[in-house]
Amino acid sequence: MSDPAAPPSPPSPPSPPTQAERDELRRHGILLTSLEELYNWGRSHSVWPLQFGLACCAIEMIAASMARFDIARFGSEVFRPSPRQADLLIVSGTVTKKMAPQVVRLWNQMPEPKYCIAMGACAISGGPFKQGYNVLKGIDRYIPVDLYIPGCPPRPEALLHGLMQLQEKIRAQTISGPEAPRHLQAGGAPECAVPDFGAHDLQPPQNPEVWRPPTIIRGGGA
Protein backbone atom coordinates (compact mmCIF):
# COMPACT_ATOMS: atom_id res chain seq x y z
CA MET A 1 0.00 0.00 0.00
CA SER A 2 1.44 3.37 -0.99
CA ASP A 3 2.01 6.14 1.51
CA PRO A 4 -0.49 8.98 0.85
CA ALA A 5 1.99 11.47 2.30
CA ALA A 6 4.77 10.51 -0.12
CA PRO A 7 5.37 13.01 -2.92
CA PRO A 8 4.11 11.90 -6.33
CA SER A 9 6.69 10.41 -8.65
CA PRO A 10 7.72 12.67 -11.52
CA PRO A 11 6.05 11.85 -14.81
CA SER A 12 8.12 9.95 -17.32
CA PRO A 13 9.35 12.00 -20.28
CA PRO A 14 7.32 11.59 -23.44
CA SER A 15 8.75 9.24 -26.01
CA PRO A 16 10.06 10.88 -29.18
CA PRO A 17 7.80 10.64 -32.23
CA THR A 18 8.40 7.78 -34.62
CA GLN A 19 9.47 8.28 -38.20
CA ALA A 20 5.94 7.41 -39.38
CA GLU A 21 4.48 10.08 -37.10
CA ARG A 22 7.01 12.65 -38.32
CA ASP A 23 6.18 11.81 -41.95
CA GLU A 24 2.48 12.24 -41.21
CA LEU A 25 3.10 15.63 -39.59
CA ARG A 26 5.29 16.65 -42.55
CA ARG A 27 2.38 16.02 -44.90
CA HIS A 28 0.40 18.54 -42.86
CA GLY A 29 3.17 21.14 -43.06
CA ILE A 30 4.62 20.52 -39.59
CA LEU A 31 8.35 19.79 -39.52
CA LEU A 32 9.96 18.29 -36.41
CA THR A 33 13.74 18.36 -36.44
CA SER A 34 16.82 19.03 -34.36
CA LEU A 35 19.85 21.22 -34.78
CA GLU A 36 21.97 18.15 -35.55
CA GLU A 37 19.55 16.87 -38.18
CA LEU A 38 19.24 20.29 -39.79
CA TYR A 39 23.03 20.73 -39.80
CA ASN A 40 23.62 17.37 -41.47
CA TRP A 41 20.75 17.90 -43.92
CA GLY A 42 22.32 21.12 -45.16
CA ARG A 43 25.77 19.55 -45.47
CA SER A 44 24.52 16.45 -47.27
CA HIS A 45 22.76 18.49 -49.96
CA SER A 46 25.63 20.90 -50.65
CA VAL A 47 28.61 18.61 -51.28
CA TRP A 48 30.84 20.44 -53.77
CA PRO A 49 33.27 18.18 -55.63
CA LEU A 50 36.74 19.21 -56.68
CA GLN A 51 37.13 19.82 -60.42
CA PHE A 52 39.75 17.15 -60.78
CA GLY A 53 40.14 13.97 -62.84
CA LEU A 54 42.88 11.49 -63.60
CA ALA A 55 41.87 9.10 -66.39
CA CYS A 56 38.92 7.55 -68.20
CA CYS A 57 36.70 7.46 -65.07
CA ALA A 58 36.78 11.25 -65.15
CA ILE A 59 34.78 11.16 -68.41
CA GLU A 60 31.99 9.31 -66.58
CA MET A 61 32.21 11.86 -63.77
CA ILE A 62 31.86 14.67 -66.29
CA ALA A 63 28.90 12.89 -67.90
CA ALA A 64 27.16 12.74 -64.50
CA SER A 65 27.08 16.54 -64.45
CA MET A 66 25.42 16.80 -67.87
CA ALA A 67 21.70 17.21 -68.52
CA ARG A 68 20.96 13.50 -68.99
CA PHE A 69 22.03 12.55 -65.46
CA ASP A 70 21.97 15.99 -63.80
CA ILE A 71 24.00 15.76 -60.60
CA ALA A 72 22.49 19.16 -59.71
CA ARG A 73 19.47 17.27 -58.34
CA PHE A 74 21.69 16.35 -55.38
CA GLY A 75 23.26 19.78 -54.88
CA SER A 76 26.69 18.75 -56.20
CA GLU A 77 26.82 20.50 -59.55
CA VAL A 78 29.28 23.14 -58.34
CA PHE A 79 32.64 21.59 -59.27
CA ARG A 80 35.14 23.89 -57.61
CA PRO A 81 38.45 24.70 -59.34
CA SER A 82 40.19 25.22 -56.00
CA PRO A 83 40.60 22.54 -53.32
CA ARG A 84 40.06 25.19 -50.65
CA GLN A 85 36.44 25.55 -51.81
CA ALA A 86 35.67 21.83 -52.26
CA ASP A 87 34.06 19.28 -49.94
CA LEU A 88 34.49 16.09 -51.99
CA LEU A 89 37.51 14.58 -53.72
CA ILE A 90 36.47 12.10 -56.42
CA VAL A 91 39.58 10.13 -57.33
CA SER A 92 38.47 9.14 -60.82
CA GLY A 93 41.09 7.14 -62.66
CA THR A 94 44.49 5.54 -62.43
CA VAL A 95 46.72 6.95 -59.69
CA THR A 96 50.32 6.66 -60.80
CA LYS A 97 53.07 6.90 -58.24
CA LYS A 98 54.20 10.12 -59.87
CA MET A 99 50.73 11.62 -59.32
CA ALA A 100 50.08 10.23 -55.83
CA PRO A 101 51.90 13.03 -53.92
CA GLN A 102 49.90 15.66 -55.81
CA VAL A 103 46.61 13.93 -54.93
CA VAL A 104 47.60 13.88 -51.25
CA ARG A 105 48.51 17.58 -51.41
CA LEU A 106 45.10 18.39 -52.91
CA TRP A 107 43.45 16.42 -50.11
CA ASN A 108 45.42 18.30 -47.44
CA GLN A 109 44.42 21.64 -48.95
CA MET A 110 40.70 20.84 -48.73
CA PRO A 111 39.01 22.19 -45.58
CA GLU A 112 37.12 19.97 -43.15
CA PRO A 113 34.59 18.46 -43.28
CA LYS A 114 35.73 16.72 -46.43
CA TYR A 115 35.08 13.37 -48.04
CA CYS A 116 36.73 11.12 -50.60
CA ILE A 117 35.24 8.75 -53.19
CA ALA A 118 37.46 6.20 -54.93
CA MET A 119 35.78 5.90 -58.34
CA GLY A 120 36.66 2.89 -60.45
CA ALA A 121 38.87 -0.17 -60.10
CA CYS A 122 42.09 1.80 -60.67
CA ALA A 123 41.49 4.22 -57.80
CA ILE A 124 40.40 1.35 -55.54
CA SER A 125 43.13 -1.21 -56.19
CA GLY A 126 45.11 -0.34 -59.31
CA GLY A 127 42.67 -2.04 -61.65
CA PRO A 128 44.08 -3.72 -64.75
CA PHE A 129 47.38 -1.93 -64.14
CA LYS A 130 47.81 -3.29 -60.60
CA GLN A 131 50.95 -5.25 -61.51
CA GLY A 132 52.58 -2.20 -63.10
CA TYR A 133 55.60 -0.80 -61.30
CA ASN A 134 54.33 2.76 -61.72
CA VAL A 135 50.72 2.40 -60.50
CA LEU A 136 49.52 2.88 -56.94
CA LYS A 137 47.47 -0.07 -55.70
CA GLY A 138 44.71 2.07 -54.24
CA ILE A 139 44.51 5.69 -53.15
CA ASP A 140 43.35 4.51 -49.70
CA ARG A 141 47.00 3.77 -48.90
CA TYR A 142 47.58 7.49 -48.35
CA ILE A 143 44.22 9.22 -47.72
CA PRO A 144 41.03 8.03 -45.99
CA VAL A 145 38.36 6.90 -48.45
CA ASP A 146 34.70 7.20 -47.46
CA LEU A 147 33.14 5.36 -50.40
CA TYR A 148 34.26 2.92 -53.08
CA ILE A 149 32.52 2.75 -56.47
CA PRO A 150 33.63 -0.38 -58.37
CA GLY A 151 33.67 -0.65 -62.15
CA CYS A 152 35.95 -0.12 -65.10
CA PRO A 153 34.71 2.49 -65.61
CA PRO A 154 31.58 2.86 -63.46
CA ARG A 155 28.69 4.54 -65.24
CA PRO A 156 27.36 7.96 -64.19
CA GLU A 157 24.42 6.23 -62.48
CA ALA A 158 26.92 4.44 -60.23
CA LEU A 159 28.48 7.75 -59.25
CA LEU A 160 25.05 9.20 -58.46
CA HIS A 161 24.26 6.13 -56.35
CA GLY A 162 27.58 6.57 -54.54
CA LEU A 163 26.76 10.23 -53.91
CA MET A 164 23.42 9.22 -52.40
CA GLN A 165 25.22 6.74 -50.13
CA LEU A 166 27.60 9.52 -49.06
CA GLN A 167 24.62 11.74 -48.28
CA GLU A 168 23.21 9.01 -46.04
CA LYS A 169 26.55 8.74 -44.28
CA ILE A 170 26.67 12.49 -43.67
CA ARG A 171 23.10 12.55 -42.35
CA ALA A 172 23.96 9.75 -39.91
CA GLN A 173 26.87 11.66 -38.38
CA THR A 174 26.53 13.27 -34.98
CA ILE A 175 27.85 16.60 -33.75
CA SER A 176 29.65 14.92 -30.86
CA GLY A 177 30.77 11.44 -29.90
CA PRO A 178 32.59 8.71 -31.84
CA GLU A 179 30.34 9.12 -34.90
CA ALA A 180 31.18 12.81 -35.28
CA PRO A 181 33.11 14.02 -38.33
CA ARG A 182 36.89 14.04 -38.09
CA HIS A 183 37.13 17.79 -37.53
CA LEU A 184 34.78 17.62 -34.52
CA GLN A 185 36.61 14.82 -32.74
CA ALA A 186 39.27 15.32 -30.11
CA GLY A 187 42.57 16.21 -31.73
CA GLY A 188 40.98 17.36 -34.98
CA ALA A 189 41.83 15.94 -38.37
CA PRO A 190 45.61 15.68 -38.95
CA GLU A 191 47.07 16.19 -42.39
CA CYS A 192 48.07 13.12 -44.36
CA ALA A 193 51.78 12.63 -44.95
CA VAL A 194 52.81 13.44 -48.51
CA PRO A 195 54.99 10.62 -49.89
CA ASP A 196 58.40 11.34 -51.38
CA PHE A 197 60.06 9.80 -54.40
CA GLY A 198 62.54 7.23 -53.17
CA ALA A 199 65.20 5.36 -55.09
CA HIS A 200 62.79 2.63 -56.19
CA ASP A 201 59.36 3.48 -54.78
CA LEU A 202 57.35 6.02 -52.85
CA GLN A 203 58.51 6.59 -49.29
CA PRO A 204 56.71 5.67 -47.16
CA PRO A 205 54.92 3.00 -49.25
CA GLN A 206 51.69 3.72 -47.31
CA ASN A 207 50.35 5.92 -44.56
CA PRO A 208 50.16 3.67 -41.47
CA GLU A 209 47.51 5.92 -39.91
CA VAL A 210 45.20 5.24 -42.87
CA TRP A 211 46.09 1.82 -44.27
CA ARG A 212 47.88 -1.27 -43.05
CA PRO A 213 48.58 -4.41 -45.09
CA PRO A 214 46.21 -7.25 -44.23
CA THR A 215 47.48 -10.02 -42.02
CA ILE A 216 47.43 -13.38 -43.77
CA ILE A 217 46.95 -16.32 -41.44
CA ARG A 218 47.83 -19.60 -43.10
CA GLY A 219 46.55 -22.83 -41.67
CA GLY A 220 49.15 -25.34 -40.49
CA GLY A 221 49.44 -28.80 -41.88
CA ALA A 222 47.60 -31.66 -40.27
Ranges of each domain in the chain:
49-173
Residue 24 backbone phi and psi in degrees, to 5: -65, -40
- The reply to whether CATH 1.10.10.10 applies to domain 49-173 is no
pLDDT one digit per residue (tens) for the chain, 222 residues: 556 666 777 777 777 778 788 788 888 888 777 888 888 888 999 999 999 999 999 999 999 999 899 999 998 988 999 999 999 999 999 999 999 999 999 999 999 889 999 999 999 999 988 888 899 999 999 999 999 999 999 999 999 999 999 999 999 888 888 777 777 777 767 789 899 998 888 999 889 888 888 888 887 655
pTM of the model: 0.81
pLDDT of 1 reads: 54
β-bridge partners, 96: 135
pLDDT of 123 reads: 94
pLDDT of 93 reads: 92
Identify the CA nearest to 48 among candidates 72, 12, 76: 76
